[in-house]
Structures are given as C-alpha cells and as structure tokens.
A and B are shown apart, each in its own frame.
Chain A
Amino acid sequence: MRTAVIAGVADHPLRDGKLAPDGSVLAAQARVAAAALADAGIEWSDVDGLLSTGMWGVPGVGQLPTVTLSEYLGLQPRFTDSTNIGGSSFESHLASAVRAIERGDCDVALITYGSTQRSDRSRNLGGRAPVLTMQHETPYGLPTPVGGYALAAMRHMHEYGTTSEQLAEIAVATRAWAALNPAATRRELITVDDVLASPMISDPLHLLDSCLVTDGAGAVVVTSEEHARASGVTPVHVRGYGESQSHWTIAAMPDLTVPPSAASGRRALEMAGITVDDIDVVELYDSFTITVLLTLEALGFCGPGEGGDFVSGQRTAPGREFPMNTNGGGLSYAHPGMYGIFLLVEAVRQLRGECGPRQVAGARTALVNGTGGTLSSASTCVLSVA
C-alpha cells in the first residue's frame, strides 16, 4: 500500500483580522488552494479529491460545500468528504484524505476552509436554534460557545484548584509566539495581569482567555509520498490519527474536565507507535485558554488536574521547554470560526523548518489536536518528517 503525505499548505493573508485582499469565502478558498498547490509543486489538473466544510452559505449552497466549491474551482473530484464535526473537522479530513490516497480512491486531495465572519460581522454569542436537542439549552441563554467552556473551567477550578492566573499563562505565552509571527493578528505582548484585567465575558473566562474573531482561509494538499518526492517537496508523514465525540449539548458531556481528546489522542499515539515524550512541537486548538489546559491533560502531557501547574511559569512560551501553538494560535494569530486547518498548516511548517524566528529547533514530530463544538469532538494527528 502506498503512503500518503502532506505535500503543501497555505493560509490566507489577513490585515486587522480581515482577508487581504478581500474577497468572498469562495475566493478565499480558491486563493489558498492555489497557494497550497504551488507550495506542493502540484498542478490543479492533478487534483481529484476535495475535502471541505464550513458555516458559510447556510442555509443555501453551503449545505453541500464540496459540491459548491468543486464547481467554483472547476474541479470534478472523484473523492469528497464534507464531514462537519466543528473546528476539529480538518484533522478528520486529513485522516480521511490519507485513507483515500492509500486506497487509491484519489491521488491528490485538497483540503480547504474559509470564513469571512469578521468582514461579515456575523458573530454574536447567541445560542444555536432552539430545535430538537437544543430546545433544552438555548432558552437559558448560555453565551455560545464561550459559556460551555466557562462551565468546564469553573468545574476544573472547583475540582483541582486551578486559577485564572494559570489559565492566563496560556494566553500570555501564546501571544509571545504571535509576536514572532508576522502573519499573526495580535502581536503586542501581554501579561497575566492584562488577561485578568480584560473584561469578564462568562465567569471565569475573560476576553483575553478567548480566541479572536477573524476571517481566514487555509488549505492542505495530501498526495502519495511518491508524487510528493517527484514534485521535489519535503513530505510530511501522517503517523497516526484518532477521533472521538462525546456530546453536543453541554449537559450531556460526561465529565466537564475530560474532553474527547483523551480518546482521540490515545488512538493517534497508538497508531503512531509513540508516546507524548516523543513529541517535539504541539499545536492544540485554543478556542479558549481552558480548551488548551483540558487538552494537555486529556492527551497525557500531564495528569488530571495538573494542567494549571504544567503551564505555569510561561512553560509553553518561545524558547521554553514545551513549544505549543507556535503561530500564535486562535488566541492571537487568527480564529475564523473553525480553526483546525491552521493547526495543520503550522505543524507542517514547523516540521519543514520554515518558521524563521519562531522555528522550534530540531522539530521532527508534531502532535495536532482539533476540538469542535463545545469540547464535543476531538481529532488528533501525529505528523513527522523522516
């Protein structure tokens, strides 16, 4: 069986969190797709797989995103996947693309995401429509999605004594990484006090515990190792992947301190045949600071309840012992609604050694963990260069 690898990645330039140059959500994806293909040294005519999802064009053409996007891009793919499990979708798309290429269902798979939510001013904290299962939550006014994460943070603080200062450490360290990334939206350094002094949104989460609201678009090209080498690019291998989902309504989350990345991470690491000790760089979905802390525990980088201590003392900042969210993350680089594809883009760039001042020296193996919904879904990938 042939081996599938990542051959190219791209993200769309932003200015003040908006697409630069501006364009529709379809134009943004077309541009990043072209850039990722150029990065891979692969022609449009070789693309025969398309994986994409999003919140754009719903209701309407966005309900069938790969069909709409294929037409816009002038593609007639023989393999598509529009799985939507929230922000973690793109880690699942990567696994799906790998399987498709290994089986021979397609030869070049293009994964895209785009959003113009900031330009559109389309976000507020309103909940999901109060139909079906959500009729039992939306009427109570939980700010969405921050409120669900706030409930988890409050519970973690109650059970383990985790503090707002410890959560703030994550935002501070992530901003320090963003300061090293010219493409990041927010680059001015912040302190723990700045985070604690920022407006409280939903106790105990402050504004600076929360991700940005930006536009954005990203693309990943997956193909066979043979094709990638023929194109002259450094192939990034997908050593393992895993997926898990535990709930959609927050009341149904079995334990508010244990996200489904506990299961997805275990599966990915087992498939890769490695442990967390073998990971050089970590890219974790950071919708909120608590998302990161819970994920670190769930993946086994520290024990249950130890996340607060783990991130203290700026341990995850540039130059420190645990390089994490090295592009500045959803907290400071960009967060266009569903962030997962940017975790993959940054991990690939780190493994290819392209990150300049924020490059993690000797990065050979990366762990990427996407989180979707309200800690609802998780998808983990282990990537490496030979």
Chain B
Amino acid sequence: MNASPAERPLPVVDADSARFWAALRDRKLTVQRCGTCGRHVFYPRALCPNCHAELVDWVECSGRGTVYSYTVARRPAGPAFAADAPYVVALVDLDEGVRMLTNVVSTPLENVRIGARVVVRFTDVAEGITLPLFELAPDPLPTDSSAREGTA
C-alpha cells in the first residue's frame, strides 16, 4: 500500500478504540472478549453484541486467520488509493472467531483465495497508526470445507 500518509484516510481514534490502536503500535493485534458469554468481539465497543454484558477484557490474538471473501479493487476507493490499484481487500476470519476487513498484501494478487490461511503483518501507515494488514501464511492451504456444493 503506497498511498502517502497525508492522503490515506486514517482511523479517527476514539475512546472505544484507543486501546486497540495503541496495542497495534506495539505489534499486538488485540480484541475484546466477553467475560459473560465468552465471545470474542471486533470492533471494540461498550457492550457485547451477543449478550449485552459490559465488555472489559482484552485478549491478544494469534494473528492468524482465514480469508472469508475478498475482492481485487481495480478502481481505487478514491484518489487516496489510486497509486495502489489493483489491490486486495479481504474479509478475514481470525482464529479467535471474529471477522475483520483488511488488505491481503501478498503478491501476485492471483494467489489470494477464499479459504487461504493468512497471518497479520503490522504496517505503519502514519505517525502513531499501525494497520493490521495480512499476508498469505507460509503453511499449506487447509482443506476448504466452506463450499456448500461439491468440490467447487
């Protein structure tokens, strides 16, 4: 991702998310974990969206996950991303059970597949802002059981 820091839309850190972004600066991907129902929660928020208990606890993630879906942006998301196109935007299911939007930055782009294993790559994009991007994991692809019909 080559968009200049001045152009790229950066997360506007708030009281909900400050701890998440602070941990990323320390090369840690963290999410909340509900102390009542045990569910991991992303993005950070006040109440568990599953059981509505107050969210207090944070846990560090393994940084590993699986591509749930992806697209190759041939046209950029506005001028800030023009220099990057084409690039992969993906939904990654972390092994902890939460899904996040991110970029899979491995090349060639054609190697990105649904079901591919990915691992976090901490990427500094601006002063104080580190994004949790992902790259294809070196380990082999797992058996993909997510297709609902045959072996498609």
Cross-chain pairs A/B with CB under 8 angstroms, 25 sampled:
A125-B75, A131-B14, A132-B12, A135-B13, A136-B17, A137-B101, A139-B8, A139-B9, A139-B10, A142-B77, A142-B89, A147-B71, A147-B73, A147-B89, A151-B69, A158-B114, A159-B149, A161-B147, A161-B150, A161-B152, A201-B75, A205-B71, A249-B43, A251-B42, A256-B91
Residues of B in contact (CB 8 Å), total 45
Which A residues from 154 to 190 make CB contacts under 8 A with B? 154-155, 158-161
CB of B99 closer than 8 Å to a CB of A: yes
A146–B89 Cα distance when bound, in Å, is 12
Q: Is the CB of B89 within 8 A of A140?
A: yes
CB of A152 closer than 8 Å to a CB of B: yes
Residues of A within 8 A of B14 (CB): 131-132, 135
Residues of A within 8 A of B9 (CB): 126-127, 129-130, 138-139
Question: Which stretch from B54-62, B78-86, B135-143 is at the chain A interface?
Answer: B78-86
Which A residues from 193 to 221 make CB contacts under 8 A with B? 199-205
Which A residues from 116 to 136 make CB contacts under 8 A with B? 124-127, 129-133, 135-136
Closest CB-CB distance, A166 to chain B, in whole Å?
A: 13
Q: A139-B9, A161-B152 are in contact. Are A127 and B77 (CB under 8 A)?
A: yes
Which B residues from 62 to 77 make CB contacts under 8 A with A? 68-77
Residues of A within 8 A of B71 (CB): 142-143, 147, 150-151, 154, 202-205
Which B residues from 113 to 152 make CB contacts under 8 A with A? 114-115, 125, 131, 146-150, 152
Closest CB-CB distance, A319 to chain B, in whole Å?
A: 31
Residues of B within 8 A of A252 (CB): 99
Closest CB-CB distance, A5 to chain B, in whole Å?
A: 40
A residues touching B (Cβ–Cβ < 8 Å)? 124-127, 129-133, 135-144, 146-147, 150-152, 154-155, 158-161, 199-205, 249-252, 256, 304-305
Closest CB-CB distance, A308 to chain B, in whole Å?
A: 11
Q: Is the CB of A126 within 8 A of B17?
A: no
